[in-house]
Structure 1
Amino acid sequence: MADKTCFLCKEKKPLKSFGKRKASPDGLQYQCRECISQYERNGNRPSRQPEYRAKYFQEKEKGSESYLKNTRRAHLKKMYGITPEIYEKMRSQQKGKCGMCGKIPKKRLAVDHDHSTDKIRGLLCFKCNTFIGYIETSRDIVEEATIYLEKYCE
């Protein structure tokens, strides 16, 4: 059986002593399970520290404006590379209406983007954004849907 040296304790241990980690070359963590357990028992894991947990759950529970604002900001930046200010500018240019059906949605408008280029096209309501996403994957469905509707329209 193969062995691996733990990064922390420097001991050579069997592979079963290491947890899984997809990102590492061998698919295993760099530290053995023992060392990780010891590290966490000492209170070094941020999510286990009382003051961290208290603040996190307090903000999350009350749905604080800053918590919601920061998660929205992070989502827009990560997914589309825009800030909430850019989103608001786009929304005001569209007068709060869906770029496709022209209706004002009850919920927030979704950022519509081309999946092949990641270029933002505009803001759409949930239904239109879902519809566009479906059409992008299967363009001939529009023609089939039209035929279907015309068949039962009479």
Structure 2
Amino acid sequence: MTSQKEREYQRKWRLENAEYRREYQKQWRENNKGKQSKYYKTWKLKNPWKAGARYRKHKLSEAQFKELKESQKGLCAICQKPQVARKGKSRELAIDHDHRTGRVRGLLCDPCNLLLGYVENHLERFQRLVMGFEKYLNNSKLGT
């Protein structure tokens, strides 16, 4: 088989056997607890620039990320709170960056990261919202 035909065959097989693959992988993880994480830790040490999409995307080494996190005391750069756990799992702060330049600005919790992304994409709407809210606050103070 040519490499193209092989890829097509494998893709088709994976789609047709998705449930089998899920069960097989689940069983493998249960039978090999610790093996995968040990392998990943070793690989990560040997491949610091490849260890995770955020490091490749932002060109931050593990040490640089750790230094940035320590400089912020593990807190969000905006709200100064720690990252919220999702579904009982702790998560790292998100790397905030300028989408035009790629320059890293700091680390953010998920709520602040989502809000900042929304504000950047809808700045005029957000400014109108703030003006409307200020107007509401001023009017409610007059009525008090």
CA displacement, residues 105-149 of structure 1 (integer Å, 9 cap, x when unaligned): 334211000111111111111111111111221221231121232
Bigger relative CO (Cα 8 Å, ≥ 6 apart):
2
CA displacement, residues 12-59 of structure 1 (integer Å, 9 cap, x when unaligned): xxxxxxxxxxxxxxxxx83379x947xx8xxxxxxx8xxxx6996359
1:126 corresponds, among 93, 107, 110, to 110
Deviates more, 1:59-68 or 1:90-99: 59-68
Aligned residue identity for 1:137: N
Q: Give the match's secondary structure for 1:122.
A: strand
Q: 1:7-46 alignment to 2 at 5 Å?
A: 8=2, 30-31=4-5, 36=9
CA displacement, residues 48-87 of structure 1 (integer Å, 9 cap, x when unaligned): 8xxxx699635997696447765x9322223222122211
- Which residue of structure 2 aligns with residue 75 of structure 1? 53
Return closer, same or farther for 1:31/1:92 CA change in 2, 3 Å cut-off. same
Larger Rg: 1
- Looking at structure 2, the residues matched to 61 and 32 of structure 1 have their Cα atoms a distance apart, in angstroms, of 32
Q: Per residue, is there more helix in 1 or in 2?
A: 2
Q: Give the match's secondary structure for 1:118.
A: coil
- Which residue of structure 2 aligns with residue 149 of structure 1? 133
- Which residue of structure 1 aligns with residue 78 of structure 2? 100
Could you tell me which runs of 5 or more consecutive residues in structure 2 were left unpaired when the two chains were aligned: 14-20, 45-49, 86-91
Q: Per residue, is there more strand in 1 or in 2?
A: 1
Count of matched residue pairs: 114
- Which residue of structure 2 aligns with residue 57 of structure 1? 29
Aligned-pair identity in percent equals 27
Q: Give the match's secondary structure for 1:145.
A: helix
| Length-normalised TM-score, structure 1 | 0.54
RMSD: 4.0
Q: Give the match's secondary structure for 1:103.
A: coil
Could you tell me which runs of 5 or more consecutive residues in structure 1 were left unpaired when the two chains were aligned: 1-6, 9-28, 41-47
